[in-house]
Amino acid sequence: MSDAAAWDARYAGGVFAFGESPNRHLAAQDWRLRAGMRALALGDGEGRNGVWLAGQGLEVTSVDWSAAGLAKADALAEARGVGLRTVVADLVGWEWPVGAFDLVAWIFMHLPPEDRAVVAAGAVAALAPGGLLVLEGFTPAQEGRRSGGPRDPSLLWSATLVREHFAGLEVLECLEGTVMLDEGPKHQGPAEVVRAVLRK
Ligand SMILES: C[S@@+](CC[C@H](N)C(=O)[O-])C[C@H]1O[C@@H](n2cnc3c(N)ncnc32)[C@H](O)[C@@H]1O
């Protein structure tokens, strides 16, 4: 089973694995958002974040390699009465639009190191000057916790990795520590994360 197929299987059924409300770190950036901004939601899964951004008046493109996830994203957008462009693609081989987005949301997408570097470079290229990257991911301290995240430690984020991968961006916020997650059945309870906001 490919990884995309594994995500399709996780997204089968009516329950939203990470809920229908946006990630709290992303939602906390609402004061930075303006209607008409162009947003790219990476690994957007069932679309909770892309749909929320669209509800703020942004023009949103959601990319994920799970067709099942993005079908639910389309349905959620329709139910909320907002427009959402969904693209089923492996971000590692994606043809990245250049300078095309004012916001890139990278929420809980954990990739193997080589892929992470490729996708990070694509995300930076996709940002327009002044554009924002909002990222949240689990850190190695998450090991042993039951609130989500990959088992393979090489997939995990850290504040150091964020600064390395996005060295060309200005760091507006970058915090690593313990938060309480309440995001659908898959992300519940105390969790160890990095939360960052960077500007091109
Ligand atoms: C933990 S889920 C998070 C989903 C969403 N960002 C959220 O916060 O609700 C990780 C997502 O990344 C997607 N993903 C992982 N690797 C990918 C890749 N190489 N290309 C596209 N999507 C990918 C998965 O399909 C999955 O939907």
- The CATH code of the domain that includes 119 is 3.40.50.150
Cα 36 to ligand 1 centroid, rounded to whole Å: 25
Cα 7 to ligand 1 centroid, rounded to whole Å: 8
List, for residues 11-63, the tens digit of each pLDDT value: 999 999 999 999 999 999 999 999 999 999 999 999 999 999 999 999 999 99
What range defines the domain where residue 98 resides? Answer: 3-199
Cβ neighbour number for residue 146 with a 10 Å cutoff:
10
Give the number of domains in the chain.
1
pLDDT band for position 2 (50/70/90)?
A: low
Write down the pTM of the prediction: 0.98
Of 65, 134, 195, the residue with max ligand 1 atoms within 8 A of its CB, to mutate for a pocket test, comes to 65
For residues 182 and 14, the answer to whether their CB atoms sit within 8 Å is no
Give the C-alpha separation, 74 to 47, whole Å. Answer: 8
